[in-house]
Amino acid sequence: RVLFYYALFVTIDYLAAILAFALERKESWWLLIWLFWQRFFYRQLMYYVAIKATFASLKGALVGWGNLERKATVQSGT
């Protein structure tokens, strides 16, 4: 029963994407190939990032960008 509803959701999702591409007219239909990868991999990655950020904020720890080692190697354009 769960698989039926999941298949129904995926079908409706793809039909909505196809409708959006049909209404846009200028977009390449080849972009629909990426929909599968976006739905199953990119979304999971975003869930991981969101959960990790939520736990970091609840923990109260500051999460920074790290330290940048400055080397002064850029030449001036003047």
Q: What's the pLDDT tens digit per position in 65-77? A: 778 788 888 887 7
Distance between CA atoms of residues 14 and 6, nearest Å: 12
**Domain limits, the chain:** 2-59
- What local confidence, expressed as pLDDT, does residue 5 receive? 96
Q: Let me know: does 17 contact 35? Beta carbons within 8 Å.
A: yes
Task: Summarize pLDDT for 18-54 with one digit per residue, the tens.
Answer: 999 999 888 888 888 888 888 888 889 999 999 998 9
- What local confidence, expressed as pLDDT, does residue 53 receive? 87
Enter the pTM of the model: 0.53
